[in-house]
Amino acid sequence: MDKFIIEGPTPLKGTIPISGSKNAALPLMAAAILGDSPTTITNVPKLRDIYTFNNVIRVTGTHVNFDEEAGELSIDPANLAHLEAPYELVRKMRASFYMLGALLGKFGRAKVSLPGGCAWGPRPVDLHLNGMREMGADIKLEEGYVIANAPKEMEGGTFTLDPSSVGATINLVLASVLRAKEFTIKNAAKEPDVVLLCNTLVEMGADIEGIGTDTLTIRAVDQLEGITVRNAADRIETGTFMIAAAMHPESDVTLTGADVDDLGHFPEVFEKTGADMTIKNDTIHIEAPDQINATNIETQIYPGFPTDLQAQWATMMTQASGESSVTDTIYYDRFSYVPEVTRLGADMDVDENTVNIAGKTPLKGASVMSTDLRASVSLVLAGMIAEGKTDVLRIYHLDRGYEDLEEKLTAVGANIRRAGQEE
Protein backbone atom coordinates (compact mmCIF):
# COMPACT_ATOMS: atom_id res chain seq x y z
CA MET A 1 0.00 0.00 0.00
CA ASP A 2 1.54 3.31 -1.12
CA LYS A 3 1.96 6.53 0.81
CA PHE A 4 3.03 10.09 0.02
CA ILE A 5 6.14 11.53 1.65
CA ILE A 6 5.84 15.31 1.67
CA GLU A 7 8.51 17.84 2.65
CA GLY A 8 7.24 21.33 3.37
CA PRO A 9 6.59 24.07 3.21
CA THR A 10 7.14 25.14 -0.39
CA PRO A 11 5.43 27.88 -2.43
CA LEU A 12 3.70 26.78 -5.63
CA LYS A 13 4.58 28.50 -8.90
CA GLY A 14 3.58 27.44 -12.39
CA THR A 15 0.75 25.93 -14.41
CA ILE A 16 -1.52 23.00 -13.55
CA PRO A 17 -3.77 21.44 -16.22
CA ILE A 18 -7.21 20.38 -14.99
CA SER A 19 -8.21 16.80 -15.75
CA GLY A 20 -11.56 15.48 -16.86
CA SER A 21 -14.14 14.87 -14.17
CA LYS A 22 -14.59 11.39 -12.72
CA ASN A 23 -18.02 12.29 -11.36
CA ALA A 24 -19.20 13.51 -14.76
CA ALA A 25 -17.63 10.66 -16.74
CA LEU A 26 -19.24 7.81 -14.79
CA PRO A 27 -22.87 8.75 -15.64
CA LEU A 28 -21.86 9.23 -19.29
CA MET A 29 -20.39 5.72 -19.28
CA ALA A 30 -23.66 4.33 -17.92
CA ALA A 31 -25.63 6.29 -20.53
CA ALA A 32 -23.54 4.77 -23.32
CA ILE A 33 -25.14 1.39 -22.52
CA LEU A 34 -28.53 2.83 -23.53
CA GLY A 35 -27.44 3.51 -27.10
CA ASP A 36 -27.93 1.17 -30.06
CA SER A 37 -24.50 2.09 -31.44
CA PRO A 38 -21.08 2.90 -29.93
CA THR A 39 -20.45 6.02 -27.86
CA THR A 40 -17.07 7.74 -27.49
CA ILE A 41 -16.33 9.90 -24.46
CA THR A 42 -13.33 12.24 -24.62
CA ASN A 43 -11.41 14.01 -21.83
CA VAL A 44 -11.65 10.94 -19.57
CA PRO A 45 -9.14 10.83 -16.68
CA LYS A 46 -6.92 7.86 -15.82
CA LEU A 47 -8.39 7.05 -12.42
CA ARG A 48 -9.06 3.92 -10.43
CA ASP A 49 -12.82 4.54 -10.44
CA ILE A 50 -12.83 4.78 -14.23
CA TYR A 51 -11.03 1.44 -14.54
CA THR A 52 -13.39 -0.12 -12.00
CA PHE A 53 -16.48 1.02 -13.87
CA ASN A 54 -14.98 -0.12 -17.17
CA ASN A 55 -14.79 -3.60 -15.66
CA VAL A 56 -18.33 -3.39 -14.28
CA ILE A 57 -19.56 -2.57 -17.79
CA ARG A 58 -17.42 -5.30 -19.42
CA VAL A 59 -19.07 -7.96 -17.22
CA THR A 60 -22.30 -7.36 -19.15
CA GLY A 61 -20.65 -8.27 -22.46
CA THR A 62 -20.22 -4.66 -23.55
CA HIS A 63 -17.01 -3.87 -25.44
CA VAL A 64 -15.01 -1.14 -23.69
CA ASN A 65 -11.79 0.36 -25.04
CA PHE A 66 -9.91 3.04 -23.09
CA ASP A 67 -7.17 4.93 -24.93
CA GLU A 68 -5.44 6.35 -21.86
CA GLU A 69 -3.04 8.64 -23.68
CA ALA A 70 -5.79 10.23 -25.76
CA GLY A 71 -8.24 10.22 -22.86
CA GLU A 72 -10.83 8.55 -25.10
CA LEU A 73 -13.22 5.87 -23.93
CA SER A 74 -15.27 3.90 -26.47
CA ILE A 75 -18.25 1.82 -25.34
CA ASP A 76 -20.09 -0.52 -27.72
CA PRO A 77 -23.15 -2.23 -26.16
CA ALA A 78 -23.91 -4.41 -29.21
CA ASN A 79 -23.16 -7.65 -27.34
CA LEU A 80 -24.57 -6.64 -23.96
CA ALA A 81 -26.37 -9.73 -22.67
CA HIS A 82 -25.47 -10.32 -19.00
CA LEU A 83 -27.75 -8.05 -16.97
CA GLU A 84 -25.84 -8.14 -13.70
CA ALA A 85 -23.34 -5.97 -11.81
CA PRO A 86 -21.61 -8.21 -9.24
CA TYR A 87 -20.72 -7.45 -5.64
CA GLU A 88 -16.96 -7.90 -6.05
CA LEU A 89 -16.89 -4.91 -8.42
CA VAL A 90 -19.79 -2.74 -7.23
CA ARG A 91 -18.54 -2.83 -3.62
CA LYS A 92 -15.46 -0.86 -4.70
CA MET A 93 -17.40 2.17 -5.87
CA ARG A 94 -20.88 3.53 -5.21
CA ALA A 95 -21.28 4.98 -8.71
CA SER A 96 -21.38 1.41 -10.08
CA PHE A 97 -24.97 1.47 -8.87
CA TYR A 98 -25.79 3.52 -12.01
CA MET A 99 -25.87 0.13 -13.72
CA LEU A 100 -29.26 -0.43 -12.12
CA GLY A 101 -30.87 2.46 -13.97
CA ALA A 102 -29.04 1.78 -17.22
CA LEU A 103 -29.82 -1.96 -17.39
CA LEU A 104 -33.41 -1.55 -16.21
CA GLY A 105 -33.96 1.24 -18.72
CA LYS A 106 -32.47 -0.64 -21.66
CA PHE A 107 -33.70 -4.18 -20.99
CA GLY A 108 -36.39 -3.97 -18.30
CA ARG A 109 -34.35 -6.27 -16.04
CA ALA A 110 -31.31 -5.86 -13.79
CA LYS A 111 -29.51 -7.54 -10.92
CA VAL A 112 -27.13 -5.13 -9.22
CA SER A 113 -25.28 -5.44 -5.94
CA LEU A 114 -25.87 -2.85 -3.27
CA PRO A 115 -22.98 -0.38 -3.52
CA GLY A 116 -19.75 0.29 -1.64
CA GLY A 117 -17.28 3.19 -1.83
CA CYS A 118 -15.72 5.58 0.67
CA ALA A 119 -15.82 4.59 4.31
CA TRP A 120 -17.57 7.66 5.69
CA GLY A 121 -21.25 7.89 6.42
CA PRO A 122 -24.46 6.28 5.16
CA ARG A 123 -25.62 7.18 1.68
CA PRO A 124 -28.72 5.00 1.34
CA VAL A 125 -30.15 3.98 -2.02
CA ASP A 126 -33.77 4.19 -0.89
CA LEU A 127 -34.36 7.24 -3.08
CA HIS A 128 -33.16 5.35 -6.15
CA LEU A 129 -35.34 2.32 -5.44
CA ASN A 130 -38.48 4.20 -4.40
CA GLY A 131 -38.23 6.42 -7.47
CA MET A 132 -38.05 3.38 -9.73
CA ARG A 133 -41.01 1.83 -7.93
CA GLU A 134 -42.94 5.06 -8.49
CA MET A 135 -42.28 4.93 -12.25
CA GLY A 136 -43.63 1.35 -12.35
CA ALA A 137 -40.71 -1.01 -11.73
CA ASP A 138 -40.83 -4.05 -9.46
CA ILE A 139 -37.91 -3.82 -7.02
CA LYS A 140 -36.83 -6.56 -4.61
CA LEU A 141 -33.82 -7.03 -2.35
CA GLU A 142 -32.29 -10.51 -2.26
CA GLU A 143 -29.03 -11.43 -0.51
CA GLY A 144 -27.43 -8.03 -0.97
CA TYR A 145 -28.64 -7.55 -4.54
CA VAL A 146 -31.33 -5.35 -6.06
CA ILE A 147 -33.51 -7.36 -8.45
CA ALA A 148 -35.41 -5.01 -10.75
CA ASN A 149 -38.02 -5.75 -13.42
CA ALA A 150 -40.13 -3.42 -15.52
CA PRO A 151 -42.71 -3.75 -18.30
CA LYS A 152 -41.86 -2.54 -21.80
CA GLU A 153 -43.65 0.71 -21.01
CA MET A 154 -43.97 2.01 -17.46
CA GLU A 155 -46.66 4.57 -16.73
CA GLY A 156 -44.21 6.85 -14.91
CA GLY A 157 -45.62 9.38 -12.48
CA THR A 158 -44.01 11.96 -10.22
CA PHE A 159 -41.33 11.42 -7.60
CA THR A 160 -39.90 14.02 -5.23
CA LEU A 161 -36.31 13.59 -4.08
CA ASP A 162 -36.04 14.40 -0.39
CA PRO A 163 -33.28 15.31 -0.02
CA SER A 164 -32.08 16.22 -3.49
CA SER A 165 -29.54 13.65 -4.68
CA VAL A 166 -27.17 13.64 -7.64
CA GLY A 167 -26.89 9.86 -7.68
CA ALA A 168 -30.63 9.24 -7.45
CA THR A 169 -31.40 11.87 -10.11
CA ILE A 170 -28.93 10.21 -12.48
CA ASN A 171 -30.22 6.69 -11.84
CA LEU A 172 -33.85 7.70 -12.31
CA VAL A 173 -33.07 9.50 -15.57
CA LEU A 174 -31.20 6.44 -16.87
CA ALA A 175 -34.09 4.16 -15.94
CA SER A 176 -36.81 6.29 -17.50
CA VAL A 177 -35.55 7.63 -20.86
CA LEU A 178 -36.41 4.45 -22.79
CA ARG A 179 -39.17 3.00 -20.64
CA ALA A 180 -41.39 5.51 -18.73
CA LYS A 181 -44.36 7.03 -20.57
CA GLU A 182 -43.91 10.24 -18.59
CA PHE A 183 -41.88 10.54 -15.41
CA THR A 184 -41.26 13.74 -13.46
CA ILE A 185 -38.47 14.14 -10.91
CA LYS A 186 -39.04 16.99 -8.47
CA ASN A 187 -36.25 18.50 -6.38
CA ALA A 188 -33.88 17.00 -8.95
CA ALA A 189 -30.18 17.73 -8.59
CA LYS A 190 -28.92 20.58 -10.78
CA GLU A 191 -25.21 19.78 -10.57
CA PRO A 192 -23.20 20.10 -13.81
CA ASP A 193 -22.81 16.30 -13.89
CA VAL A 194 -26.59 15.93 -14.14
CA VAL A 195 -26.92 18.67 -16.75
CA LEU A 196 -24.18 17.12 -18.90
CA LEU A 197 -25.80 13.68 -18.66
CA CYS A 198 -29.22 14.99 -19.64
CA ASN A 199 -27.87 17.06 -22.54
CA THR A 200 -25.93 14.02 -23.74
CA LEU A 201 -29.01 11.81 -23.61
CA VAL A 202 -30.99 14.43 -25.56
CA GLU A 203 -28.28 14.43 -28.21
CA MET A 204 -28.61 10.63 -28.30
CA GLY A 205 -32.35 11.09 -28.92
CA ALA A 206 -33.96 11.32 -25.47
CA ASP A 207 -36.90 13.55 -24.56
CA ILE A 208 -36.02 15.40 -21.34
CA GLU A 209 -37.63 18.68 -20.28
CA GLY A 210 -36.39 21.08 -17.59
CA ILE A 211 -32.64 20.42 -17.86
CA GLY A 212 -30.76 22.66 -15.42
CA THR A 213 -33.82 23.16 -13.21
CA ASP A 214 -35.03 21.20 -10.17
CA THR A 215 -37.90 19.61 -12.14
CA LEU A 216 -37.11 17.09 -14.87
CA THR A 217 -39.79 15.50 -17.03
CA ILE A 218 -38.76 12.49 -19.09
CA ARG A 219 -40.84 10.90 -21.85
CA ALA A 220 -39.73 7.59 -23.28
CA VAL A 221 -38.37 7.33 -26.81
CA ASP A 222 -38.05 4.17 -28.89
CA GLN A 223 -34.27 4.19 -29.14
CA LEU A 224 -31.08 6.12 -28.50
CA GLU A 225 -28.03 6.32 -30.74
CA GLY A 226 -24.40 6.49 -29.67
CA ILE A 227 -22.54 9.78 -30.07
CA THR A 228 -19.19 11.39 -29.33
CA VAL A 229 -19.28 13.60 -26.23
CA ARG A 230 -16.67 15.60 -24.33
CA ASN A 231 -16.48 14.96 -20.61
CA ALA A 232 -16.44 18.01 -18.32
CA ALA A 233 -13.36 19.30 -16.53
CA ASP A 234 -13.19 18.32 -12.87
CA ARG A 235 -14.64 21.20 -10.84
CA ILE A 236 -13.58 19.63 -7.54
CA GLU A 237 -9.99 19.27 -8.72
CA THR A 238 -10.17 22.90 -9.87
CA GLY A 239 -11.36 24.06 -6.46
CA THR A 240 -8.77 21.89 -4.70
CA PHE A 241 -5.89 23.47 -6.62
CA MET A 242 -7.32 26.96 -6.09
CA ILE A 243 -7.25 26.28 -2.34
CA ALA A 244 -3.73 24.80 -2.54
CA ALA A 245 -2.48 27.95 -4.26
CA ALA A 246 -4.15 30.29 -1.79
CA MET A 247 -2.88 28.59 1.38
CA HIS A 248 0.81 28.53 0.42
CA PRO A 249 2.46 31.96 0.87
CA GLU A 250 4.02 33.51 -2.25
CA SER A 251 2.29 30.98 -4.50
CA ASP A 252 1.45 32.01 -8.06
CA VAL A 253 -0.49 29.32 -9.93
CA THR A 254 -2.35 29.19 -13.24
CA LEU A 255 -4.99 26.51 -13.82
CA THR A 256 -5.79 25.64 -17.44
CA GLY A 257 -8.63 23.70 -19.03
CA ALA A 258 -11.15 24.51 -16.31
CA ASP A 259 -14.91 24.62 -16.89
CA VAL A 260 -15.36 27.85 -14.94
CA ASP A 261 -19.14 27.96 -15.33
CA ASP A 262 -19.40 24.65 -13.45
CA LEU A 263 -17.91 26.13 -10.26
CA GLY A 264 -21.20 27.69 -9.14
CA HIS A 265 -20.78 30.19 -6.27
CA PHE A 266 -17.37 28.84 -5.24
CA PRO A 267 -15.25 31.60 -6.89
CA GLU A 268 -17.09 34.41 -5.13
CA VAL A 269 -16.66 32.68 -1.77
CA PHE A 270 -13.02 31.98 -2.57
CA GLU A 271 -12.34 35.68 -3.18
CA LYS A 272 -13.27 36.42 0.45
CA THR A 273 -10.04 34.72 1.53
CA GLY A 274 -8.08 37.64 0.09
CA ALA A 275 -6.50 35.60 -2.69
CA ASP A 276 -6.05 37.37 -6.00
CA MET A 277 -8.04 35.55 -8.68
CA THR A 278 -8.23 36.28 -12.41
CA ILE A 279 -10.50 34.24 -14.68
CA LYS A 280 -10.24 34.30 -18.47
CA ASN A 281 -12.08 31.71 -20.55
CA ASP A 282 -10.90 28.30 -19.24
CA THR A 283 -7.94 29.71 -17.29
CA ILE A 284 -7.82 30.69 -13.61
CA HIS A 285 -4.83 32.54 -12.19
CA ILE A 286 -4.34 32.55 -8.39
CA GLU A 287 -1.90 34.55 -6.30
CA ALA A 288 -1.78 33.72 -2.60
CA PRO A 289 -2.66 36.55 -0.18
CA ASP A 290 -0.16 37.81 2.36
CA GLN A 291 -2.73 36.88 4.98
CA ILE A 292 -5.69 34.53 4.52
CA ASN A 293 -8.96 35.95 5.78
CA ALA A 294 -10.93 33.64 8.08
CA THR A 295 -14.06 32.76 6.09
CA ASN A 296 -17.03 30.71 7.29
CA ILE A 297 -18.80 28.41 4.84
CA GLU A 298 -21.80 26.10 4.74
CA THR A 299 -22.05 23.40 2.11
CA GLN A 300 -25.16 23.51 -0.04
CA ILE A 301 -26.50 21.71 -3.08
CA TYR A 302 -25.31 23.17 -6.39
CA PRO A 303 -24.64 26.01 -7.10
CA GLY A 304 -23.76 26.41 -3.41
CA PHE A 305 -20.47 25.49 -1.77
CA PRO A 306 -19.68 21.84 -2.63
CA THR A 307 -19.45 19.27 0.14
CA ASP A 308 -16.52 17.77 -1.80
CA LEU A 309 -14.47 20.91 -1.05
CA GLN A 310 -15.22 21.37 2.65
CA ALA A 311 -12.28 19.30 3.94
CA GLN A 312 -9.84 21.26 1.76
CA TRP A 313 -11.40 24.56 2.84
CA ALA A 314 -11.22 23.70 6.53
CA THR A 315 -7.56 22.77 6.10
CA MET A 316 -6.87 26.13 4.45
CA MET A 317 -8.62 27.90 7.33
CA THR A 318 -6.01 26.52 9.76
CA GLN A 319 -3.69 29.03 8.06
CA ALA A 320 -6.15 31.93 8.18
CA SER A 321 -5.98 34.76 10.69
CA GLY A 322 -8.78 34.33 13.20
CA GLU A 323 -11.58 31.89 13.90
CA SER A 324 -13.74 30.27 11.24
CA SER A 325 -16.28 27.48 10.89
CA VAL A 326 -17.14 24.94 8.22
CA THR A 327 -20.62 23.39 8.34
CA ASP A 328 -21.62 20.47 6.14
CA THR A 329 -25.38 20.45 5.56
CA ILE A 330 -25.16 17.60 3.03
CA TYR A 331 -23.29 14.91 5.00
CA TYR A 332 -23.21 15.34 8.77
CA ASP A 333 -20.30 13.05 9.49
CA ARG A 334 -17.72 13.97 6.86
CA PHE A 335 -14.99 15.07 9.26
CA SER A 336 -12.61 12.11 9.46
CA TYR A 337 -9.76 14.40 8.41
CA VAL A 338 -10.04 16.61 11.50
CA PRO A 339 -8.13 14.42 14.01
CA GLU A 340 -5.44 13.84 11.39
CA VAL A 341 -4.91 17.54 10.57
CA THR A 342 -4.95 18.16 14.33
CA ARG A 343 -2.02 15.71 14.62
CA LEU A 344 -0.07 18.17 12.50
CA GLY A 345 -0.82 21.00 14.92
CA ALA A 346 -4.15 22.43 13.80
CA ASP A 347 -6.66 23.78 16.32
CA MET A 348 -9.92 22.20 15.12
CA ASP A 349 -12.98 21.03 17.01
CA VAL A 350 -16.02 19.19 15.63
CA ASP A 351 -19.46 20.03 16.99
CA GLU A 352 -22.12 17.88 15.30
CA ASN A 353 -21.90 18.86 11.58
CA THR A 354 -19.59 21.85 12.09
CA VAL A 355 -15.84 22.07 12.52
CA ASN A 356 -14.62 25.19 14.33
CA ILE A 357 -11.11 26.29 13.44
CA ALA A 358 -8.76 28.65 15.27
CA GLY A 359 -6.00 30.06 13.09
CA LYS A 360 -3.34 30.73 12.29
CA THR A 361 -1.55 27.66 13.65
CA PRO A 362 1.86 26.44 12.49
CA LEU A 363 1.74 22.86 11.26
CA LYS A 364 4.52 20.35 11.79
CA GLY A 365 5.02 17.14 9.82
CA ALA A 366 3.83 13.78 11.15
CA SER A 367 2.26 10.55 9.89
CA VAL A 368 -1.43 10.86 9.04
CA MET A 369 -3.98 8.44 7.61
CA SER A 370 -6.90 9.11 5.31
CA THR A 371 -10.27 7.39 5.19
CA ASP A 372 -11.85 8.84 2.06
CA LEU A 373 -11.03 10.69 -1.14
CA ARG A 374 -11.47 14.31 -0.06
CA ALA A 375 -10.00 13.70 3.40
CA SER A 376 -6.92 12.33 1.66
CA VAL A 377 -6.33 15.43 -0.41
CA SER A 378 -6.88 17.71 2.58
CA LEU A 379 -4.03 15.88 4.32
CA VAL A 380 -1.81 16.42 1.28
CA LEU A 381 -2.58 20.15 1.42
CA ALA A 382 -1.80 20.19 5.13
CA GLY A 383 1.45 18.29 4.60
CA MET A 384 2.54 20.76 1.94
CA ILE A 385 2.22 23.68 4.37
CA ALA A 386 3.66 21.81 7.39
CA GLU A 387 7.26 22.18 8.50
CA GLY A 388 9.30 19.02 7.90
CA LYS A 389 8.21 15.58 6.70
CA THR A 390 4.63 14.35 6.52
CA ASP A 391 3.67 10.81 5.58
CA VAL A 392 0.15 10.50 4.15
CA LEU A 393 -0.90 6.86 4.39
CA ARG A 394 -3.55 4.94 2.41
CA ILE A 395 -3.36 7.17 -0.65
CA TYR A 396 -5.26 4.64 -2.75
CA HIS A 397 -8.24 6.88 -2.00
CA LEU A 398 -6.51 9.67 -3.95
CA ASP A 399 -5.96 7.40 -6.92
CA ARG A 400 -9.74 7.05 -7.16
CA GLY A 401 -10.32 10.74 -7.81
CA TYR A 402 -7.20 12.81 -8.61
CA GLU A 403 -5.30 12.13 -11.82
CA ASP A 404 -1.49 12.42 -11.52
CA LEU A 405 -1.82 14.43 -8.30
CA GLU A 406 1.79 14.21 -7.14
CA GLU A 407 3.11 14.91 -10.66
CA LYS A 408 0.93 18.01 -11.03
CA LEU A 409 1.89 19.41 -7.63
CA THR A 410 5.58 18.53 -7.98
CA ALA A 411 5.65 20.33 -11.34
CA VAL A 412 4.72 23.60 -9.58
CA GLY A 413 7.18 23.25 -6.72
CA ALA A 414 5.75 20.84 -4.16
CA ASN A 415 8.07 18.22 -2.68
CA ILE A 416 6.00 15.02 -2.86
CA ARG A 417 7.02 11.48 -3.67
CA ARG A 418 5.18 8.19 -3.66
CA ALA A 419 6.67 5.30 -1.69
CA GLY A 420 5.72 1.93 -0.28
CA GLN A 421 4.15 2.19 3.16
CA GLU A 422 6.97 0.19 4.74
CA GLU A 423 9.51 2.87 3.79
What is the reported pLDDT for 88? 87
From 226, 245, 271, the end of a domain falls on 226
CATH of the domain at 208: 3.65.10.10
Phi and psi (nearest 5°) for 302? -55, 140
Q: Do 179 and 251 belong to one domain?
A: no
Residue 249 vs residue 363, higher pLDDT: 363
Q: Do 161 and 258 belong to one domain?
A: no
Q: Mean pLDDT over residues 339-358, rounded?
A: 97
Q: Do 152 and 263 belong to one domain?
A: no
pLDDT tens digits for range 410-421: 999 999 999 986
The pLDDT of residue 247 is above 50? yes
Q: Do 209 and 276 belong to one domain?
A: no
Q: Is 115 annotated as a binding residue?
A: no
Q: Do 69 and 154 belong to one domain?
A: yes
Q: Do 149 and 258 belong to one domain?
A: no
User: Average pLDDT of the chain?
Assistant: 94
The pLDDT of residue 120 is above 50? no
Q: Is 127 annotated as a binding residue?
A: yes
Q: Do 176 and 258 belong to one domain?
A: no
Q: Is 124 annotated as a binding residue?
A: yes
From 226, 254, 279, the end of a domain falls on 226
What is the reported pLDDT for 322? 97
Q: Do 293 and 361 belong to one domain?
A: yes
Residue range of the domain that includes 331: 2-17+233-420
Q: Quick one: pLDDT band at residue 144, thresholds 50, 70, 90? A: confident
Domain count across the chain: 2
Of the residues 28, 41, 118, 129, only one is catalytic, namely 118
The pLDDT of residue 60 is above 70? yes
What is the reported pLDDT for 423? 66
Q: Do 46 and 151 belong to one domain?
A: yes
Q: Do 176 and 279 belong to one domain?
A: no
pLDDT tens digits for range 286-336: 999 999 999 999 999 999 999 999 999 999 999 999 999 999 998 878 899
Annotation marks residue 118 as catalytic:
yes
What is the reported pLDDT for 116? 57
Q: Do 145 and 160 belong to one domain?
A: yes
What is the reported pLDDT for 194? 98
The pLDDT of residue 248 is above 50? yes
Q: Mean pLDDT over residues 6-18, rounded?
A: 96
From 226, 255, 271, the end of a domain falls on 226
Q: Mean pLDDT over residues 7-29, rounded?
A: 97
Q: Do 279 and 373 belong to one domain?
A: yes
pLDDT tens digits for range 179-201: 999 999 999 999 999 999 999 99
What is the reported pLDDT for 28? 98
The pTM of the full predicted model, rounded to 2 decimals, is 0.94
Q: Is 186 annotated as a binding residue?
A: no
